[in-house]
Amino acid sequence: MFSKKVEFLKAIPVWAEGLEKEINRHLMFNTNIDFTDKKNTVIRLTASCAYSVKVNGEFFAMGPARAGHGHYRVDEYVLDNVLDGAANKIEILVAGYNQNSFYWLDQPSFLCAEILKDGEAIAWTSANRDDFKAYNFAERVVKVQRYSFQRPAAEVYDYNRKTDYTAPVKLVHATAEDKVFIERGIFYPEYEKEPAKSIICKGTVGVSEKDSYYDDRAIVNVGEMIKGFPIDELEVCSVWEAQKLDFDATDYTVSDNAPIILPKDTFAVYDMGKNSNGLMGFDIECEEDITLYALFDEIILDNDPNKIDITRLTCSNVIMWKLPKGKYSILSYEPYGYKYLRMVSMGGSAKISDMHIRRVGFYMPDKKIKTDNPKLKAVFDAAIETFRQNVCDIYMDCASRERGGWLCDSFFTSRVEKTLTGKSEVERNFLENFLQPDSFKCIPQGMLPMCYPGDHYDYSFIPNWAMWYVVELEEYLARSGDVEFIESAKPKMYALLNYFKGLENSDGLLEHLKSWVFVEWSKANDFVQDINFPSNMLYSKMKKVMSRLYNDKTLADEAEALDKKIKELSFGGKFFRDNAVYEDGKLVLTENYTEACQYYAFHTGVATPEEFPELWETLLKDFGPQRKQTGKWSEVYFANAFIGNYLRLDLLNIYGYNEEILDNMEGYFYYMAEQTGTLWEHDGTYASCCHGFASHVIYWFDKLGMLE
């Protein structure tokens, strides 16, 4: 079932004349509501790219929920409980990024909003009324670097600049592209406010030029493929300014999150208690003009609170403010992920209080684990935290670096939503987004984007991830019974199949797969050409799924033949090899063996324990979290968390090895839960330390009857 269309009663989409496609332009829309009876008052709105609403100076909501190109989900909020009385001020700050990213789509800017009283519109956006007046939001610095390759502009503010509320901009009907307004279809975040746990380090700050600065592609390679401002046009590159700072820790005393005075050129490091995600908030009173930095990351290096690497995650993990003398209540515009936060006051003294994060994600589900094992309890709690941070309007891979809706990740996260809520509402929106556009720019006809909504101007796609969409589709049907949705997806699924058909050789094997061929984050990704067997195993499963979804016996027969050929070529006597290559026109079987390939074989149904009992027994007894210590089967390259270790655990679940699942989960995940309170993208801290798919352990706990 697709999302229903929404009609605004009066509002039309508007933006400042001539600025619809300007990069990183922010407009502040204001309206006042004057009445004594505040009952039955509703605001309906959507925007491109993003909005943040304040009611009477207090944060109220952000959005919208994301959709596919040309589609915009309309949020609807009841205002009764936040209106004061006769006079109320509604402020909507809209970000028009106009940058390609994995987060917000690169679409022309607009706001469409109306306020209803008893079902009648009393204020609305219009090109010829002034119910909503709009102003250039001067405090936000426009010409800054991107936050990351995957996300648009970093946040930099200069409060010496004041928005001129006496000079509204001219609004025009935003007609640059067609717009389809649809219902939100999912829950609204509760925006819980969570205080920092403690202050764990203080010290002084110096400044020095460095020999080199962070030169990520999102900063130095902007252009047609990565939209942004060239270096020579930047007003400030906040990450470079932050890298000039030298930190000398003078006090490692742990203290409560109480108001703290930062003298001139000093810092304090906050511990949030766990890896957290949301809007960064605090109050600050500046004794004089200062430059304030917030520098953050999910981990600290060498267990030293003075070692926070703000580029570890290939992001500019810095927010920068220039603040004149005065008092401010600060809240970041976008959500960020961190456990450790360094606040730096340069040029003057400041008092900081009420340091907190305002969550933007899933509500706390009503599920608990039944266990006396504290390590498994910690893993469960970390999985809940991981799920909540990465499930908001869509399933996200990580709520920090990317906030992107990746396929394959979604296969795992979708199971957790159903386990925790009994519903698949976020999954429906997630899958529907891929079906909304007629086609996708910059990727081949028939292919699906690797993550979406997103714009991939570098022509990148992951063919394997499109296969995972099909595999997830069958499970979505089982979870939801939504036959109508499956039928609606049929044209795109067969278009995808036709794309792959063009890459089949005479044996039906895919060869020379294009773009980013992804098996998992391990050595397996080095063996993806010319014929990659894990990819073909997944292709076989895709065909089996489509044969069942669409009653296509031809595909079932093709999958059976493909399985036979894979086993003939890939199985080397003890293990399945990863690939075969062409040398002088002849196909040569390699001796490349990875742990991930073995799990793909069994998880896709190419292999079964009955058909390959010796291999299954070897995987069961000799592989797993302990193998790095035992060193067994060193010729087989290790799997990583994503996705090999998860395929392993899922196989243990499928075949009923309950004790082994619990042992493996403790071995794979407890150290993550202990260190960050979340579960990671990899088996080390060299990437995201809160990755949505990793919450899948909740699904296994449920299958073991351990949830209540």
CA distances from 61 to 58, 104, 364, 446, 591 (A): 10, 17, 18, 37, 55
Query: Hey, is 574 helix, strand or coil?
Result: coil
Across the strands, what pairs with 533? none
Query: What residues contact residue 394 under an 8 Å CB cut-off, 6+ apart?
Result: 65, 66, 405, 426, 429, 430, 433, 453
Contact 487, 440 (CB under 8 A): no
Across the strands, what pairs with 59? 54
Which run of H or of E encompasses 670? helix 658-676
Sign of CA dihedral 335, 336, 339, 344: negative
Cis peptide before 443 (omega within 30 of 0): no
Structural fold of domain 374-703: Glycosyltransferase (1.50.10)
Contact 56, 84 (CB under 8 A): yes
- As assigned by CATH, the class of the 193-208+244-359 domain is mainly beta
**Pairing state of beta strands 336-346 and 290-297?**
antiparallel
Q: How far is residue 549's CA from residue 39's CA, in Å, rounded to a whole number?
A: 48
Across the strands, what pairs with 576? 571
Amino acid, single-letter form, for residue 209: E
Ranges assigned E (strand) in 97-218: 110-117, 120-124, 133-136, 156-158, 171-173, 180-183, 193-195, 198-207
Same fold across 14-183 and 193-208+244-359? yes
Residue 613, Ramachandran bin (φ over 0: left; ψ between -120 and 50: alpha; else beta):
alpha
Q: In this predicted model, what pLDDT tens digit does every residue of 416-464 receive, in sequence order? A: 999 999 999 999 999 999 999 999 999 999 999 999 999 999 999 999 9
Structural fold of domain 14-183: Jelly Rolls (2.60.120)
Q: What is the pTM of this model?
A: 0.97
Mean pLDDT (whole number) for 467-487: 98
∠ CA 264-270-272 to the nearest 5 degrees?
160
CA distances from 141 to 84, 513, 706 (A): 32, 43, 51
Which run of H or of E encompasses 4? none
Contact 48, 72 (CB under 8 A): yes
Q: What is the CA radius of gyration of the chain?
A: 26
Amino acid, single-letter form, for residue 90: I
Q: In this predicted model, what pLDDT tens digit does every residue of 156-186 receive, in sequence order? A: 999 999 999 999 999 999 998 999 999 999 9
Residue 86 pLDDT grade (very low, low, confident, very high; cuts 50, 70, 90): confident
Please determine, for residue 55, whether its predicted confidence score (pLDDT) is greater than 70: yes
Q: How far is residue 136's CA from residue 162's CA, in Å, rounded to a whole number?
A: 10
Q: Kindly report the average pLDDT of the chain as a whole number.
A: 98
Residue 527 pLDDT grade (very low, low, confident, very high; cuts 50, 70, 90): very high
Q: In this predicted model, what pLDDT tens digit does every residue of 366-388 receive, in sequence order? A: 999 999 999 999 999 999 999 99
**In the chain, what are the domain boundaries?**
14-183, 193-208+244-359, 374-703
SS3 for 334-351 is CCEEEEEEEEEEECCCEE
Report the candidate in 588, 608, 590, 589 with the shortest Cα–Cα distance to residue 598: 608
Please determine, for residue 229, whether its predicted confidence score (pLDDT) is greater than 70: yes
pLDDT, position 662: 97
Please determine, for residue 1, whether its predicted confidence score (pLDDT) is greater than 80: no
Which pairs from 160-168 meet CB under 8 Å and 24+ separation? 160/289, 160/322, 160/324, 162/138, 163/28, 163/135, 163/136, 163/137, 163/138, 163/139, 164/135, 164/136, 164/138, 165/30, 165/135, 167/135, 168/130, 168/133, 168/134, 168/135
Q: In this predicted model, what pLDDT tens digit does every residue of 352-370 receive, in sequence order? A: 999 999 999 999 999 999 9
Q: How far is residue 589's CA from residue 532's CA, in Å, rounded to a whole number?
A: 11
